[in-house]
Amino acid sequence: MMTRILKSSYLLLFFAAFAFVACEKEEAAELGEVVTEEAFTELERSGQMGCQDCFSVVFPVTLVFADGSTAEVDSRQAIREAIRAYVQENGRPQSRPRFEFPYEVELQDGTLQTINSPEDFRALLEECGFEPGQRPHFERPFFLRNPCYSLVFPVTVEFPVGPTAVANNRQQLIRLMYRWNREFPNRPRRPRLQFPFDVELSEDGSVVTMENYADLLALTRDCWENFEPCFTMDYPVSIALPDGTTEEANSREEVRGIFDAWREANAPSEEKPEFVFPLEVTLTEDGSTLTVEAPEVLRELIEGCRG
């Protein structure tokens, strides 16, 4: 009888120890994911992985960690995986990783620029109209995120108050709008383009003049109704509303319903719902699945569908 009791006690101790170790491993894995997300977010906010429509990083680049170790990465997803591997091996990094100098960035006009030092990087941010060390974010107007047409520069920008300004390229236009939103974040009205202006259609390269807002809105609606993307979104997806709540959508129709319902209930507010990232998409060409880490990656994917 005593032998059975001892065996049962040993078994209980063994399973308790196993459960404790398993729990510890699960907590460590969860902590590792949290630390990975923190480090990845800090790298994004630093602006090193690109700033809106100003520039994007040319991969591959070498990631340098606080202890001097390095990892070569060829995509945003590879950056996340490299950070995760480092955290699993070494724990929380003492400081965020950075890119090894020199590395190249591609400007909005397609030219390449070499970043040789932190000073070069800060100068680039300043040239883009962004404050060094801060990741810029503002809602781009719809005429800057449409896959069916692009603006023909120069264009004139009208501000709610003050004189107009001329933008000679996309980068200058983004800079003007970003600076306005940074200086007047709570103004309900935003800068807009002065009519008339021209757009170039992506389909055939023809130029069309927008005489008024109705022309622009009609062209935009026609674009999205007939646009055939090269990927499909994997549902369900989460959508963050401007009031801080989130909703889940299980189809394209539900996504549109959430966006439309918000606009109708909150007009004339310019705030709108946004997707919660990361999200998954399936490429039409080969059926492969791609993780989309951020809004700018989704915009690049949509623009890439132009062919």
pLDDT tens by residue, 158-168: 988 888 999 98
What's the pLDDT score for residue 152? 92
Task: Write the burial class of residue 122 (CB in 10 Å: 0-12 exposed, 13-18 middle, 19+ buried).
Answer: middle
Comparison of pLDDT for 260 and 2, the residue scoring more: 260
Q: Are 120 and 156 found together in one domain?
A: no
- Band (303; pLDDT cuts 50, 70, 90): low
- Band (pLDDT 50/70/90 cuts) for residue 208 is very high
Q: Which of 75, 95, 127 is the last residue of a domain?
A: 127
> Does residue 6 belong to any structural domain of this protein?
no
Residue 149 token pair: 């047409």
pLDDT of residue 156: 95
Whether the predicted pLDDT of 129 surpasses 70: no
Tokens for 60, please give them. Answer: 């591959």
Going by their DSSP bridges, the two strands 155-158 and 165-167 should be labelled as antiparallel
Residue type present at position 93: P
Quote the domain boundaries for residue 213.
Answer: 138-227
Residue 43 lies in a domain: yes
Q: What angle do CA 298, 36, 295 make, to 5 degrees?
A: 15
Q: Which of 185, 210, 227 is the last residue of a domain?
A: 227
Which of 68-72, 120-124, 182-186 ranks highest by mean pLDDT?
A: 68-72
Say which DSSP state 229 is in.
Answer: -
Q: How confident is the model at residue 140 (pLDDT cuts 50, 70, 90)?
A: low
Distance CA 120, CA 126 (A): 10
What lies within 8 Å, CB to CB, of 268 at 6+ separation is 188
Query: How high is the pLDDT of residue 306?
Result: 53
Confirm whether 285 is domain-assigned.
yes
Task: Determine, yes or no, domain membership for 132.
Answer: no
What percent of the chain has a predicted confidence (pLDDT) above 70? 74
Q: Note the pLDDT tens digit of each residue in 240-297.
A: 888 888 899 998 888 888 888 887 787 666 677 888 888 898 888 788 888 888 777 7
The verdict on residue 133 lying in a domain is no
Same domain, 94 and 163: no
What pLDDT band is residue 115 in, cutting at 50, 70 and 90? Answer: very high
3-state class (DSSP) for residue 143: helix
Whether 1 maps to a domain, the answer reads no
* The one-letter amino acid at 205: G
**Is residue 210 in a domain?**
yes
Same domain, residue pair 15 and 122: yes
Do 23 and 63 lie in one domain? The reply is: yes
Candidate from 4-8, 154-158, 159-163 with smallest mean pLDDT? 4-8
pLDDT of 226 > 70? The answer is no
128-134: Cβ within 8 A, 24+ apart: 128/51, 128/52, 128/54, 128/55, 128/171, 128/174, 128/175, 129/54, 129/174, 129/175, 129/176, 129/178, 129/179, 130/47, 130/51, 130/54, 130/178, 131/182, 132/47, 133/46, 133/47, 134/45, 134/47
The structural domain count of the chain equals: 3
d(CA 198, CA 178): 22
249 in a domain, yes or no?
A: yes
pLDDT value at residue 11: 47
Task: Work out the mean pLDDT of the chain and round it to a whole number.
Answer: 77
CA 4 – CA 115 distance, rounded (Å): 72
pLDDT for position 99? 92
Q: E strands, 141-293, where?
A: 149-151, 155-158, 165-167, 192-193, 197-201, 207-210, 231-233, 237-240, 246-249, 274-275, 279-283, 289-292
Average pLDDT over residues 65-85: 87
Cα–Cα distance, 172 to 76 (Å, whole number): 26
Q: Which of 81, 100, 127 is the last residue of a domain?
A: 127
pTM for the complete prediction?
A: 0.45
User: Which residue would you say has higher pLDDT here, 184 or 219?
Assistant: 219
Mean pLDDT within 42-60? 76
Q: What is the pLDDT of residue 273?
A: 85
DSSP string, 243-256: TS-EEEESSHHHHH
